[in-house]
Structure 1
């Protein structure tokens, strides 16, 4: 497979894209709300998907009608609970492991680009295999997290590639906005919330059956 026929790098989101981990965040968020004597409205949970923790806590507290709650306490509580769940309950999203394996076997550079903080990412990587990614860009390691383009621009910089030669795979509106604003081609796989196509954004229902040839087509290339 000629090197010119494939993306220079594939940039993967984590929660909801590679791993079916949004439901684990659900567990932690709903349990915390229960300790506050409240329930999380569906629209609040949907708005939280893919956002930075600081923004998510504002949305959560406002959504449950308790804006006075301490965001640091809530964030720490959720992170501790998610860490427990990541250690025992992570599973791959359909097609994600197979695509990642094919990309790595072809020698294509890979990055994990996530709004999740590194200590949780490290737990996930110990389960999924740290060698699957050349670089990790975590939410607590950038000045501006998704939907800002910085995380994807940083990933491309660390890999030494042009972001325009990369394909990003995302499942949330904030992630899609981040990757497309950075200049990457985006494969959007809706999970918890609906997504729409755009000039640089292609929709698929699932990663099942998606191959490196499909990613090359997104990048405007063909695989021979």
Structure 2
């Protein structure tokens, strides 16, 4: 029986991956590496250090100054998010308020804690009882650590949780943690997310699934 929903943030709750992609493109450009927006979409969910390591590996360059890139990308992300460039996906606020108090709610994001807390306070105050950011585990997605931490903080069995993801590495992370996972292809294709237990078409289909579960479990 589902007792908790664990949501990814970027691409599920807020339409913000274009901001992350812009920040990463600018940061890597400063050190002579050109990356495509889709490269960042494919790495979504990984924490910042993990993204740098993966891009360095992709470009066969292990001589970059990680701390310098981290400083640059963090500053650029905060500037972009501070400018109120973020939009919620239609219907997200309504469904969260509908199920708040009926299910346990958690967020697991690869974004740094300052951005995650900023988004939670601005758009979802009092909704999520557990928040796990990219700063909260040594190993980010696709390692199971972020989702394991969320389940531990919730204090319930994995069998009673459902993860909602939109990223390849996020799906891998949740599945590696042994949690039932549904995915939405907000920036990628359904084929790229095929390892999820269920691949939905869009947010409207997600909302219908959640409402169905609520009626089945709670009877409302």
**TM-score w.r.t. length of structure 2:** 0.85
1:42 positional shift: 5.2
- The aligned length equals 215
Deviations 1:35-80 (A, max 9, x none): 3354214563344222221221123345567542211111121111
Matched, 1:144 2:156: no
1:5-154 map, 5 Å? 7-41=2-36, 44-63=39-58, 67-88=62-83, 89-104=85-100, 106-154=101-149
RMSD: 2.5
Alpha-carbon distance between aligned partners in 2 of 1:187 and 1:95, rounded to the nearest angstrom: 17
Q: Would the aligned equivalents of 2:44 and 2:110 in 1 still touch at CA under 8 Å?
A: no
Match for 2:193 among 166, 175, 196?
Answer: 196
**TM-score w.r.t. length of structure 1:** 0.83
1:223 positional shift: 5.8
Matched, 1:155 2:150: yes
Deviations 1:138-160 (A, max 9, x none): 12111322112221122122112
User: What is the match of residue 207 of structure 1?
Assistant: 203
Gaps of 5+ in 2: none
Gaps of 5+ in 1: none
Alpha-carbon distance between aligned partners in 2 of 1:44 and 1:10, rounded to the nearest angstrom: 28
Q: Would the aligned equivalents of 1:11 and 1:169 in 2 still touch at CA under 8 Å?
A: yes
Deviations 1:115-136 (A, max 9, x none): 2221221111221133110011
Q: Would the aligned equivalents of 1:40 and 1:63 in 2 still touch at CA under 8 Å?
A: no
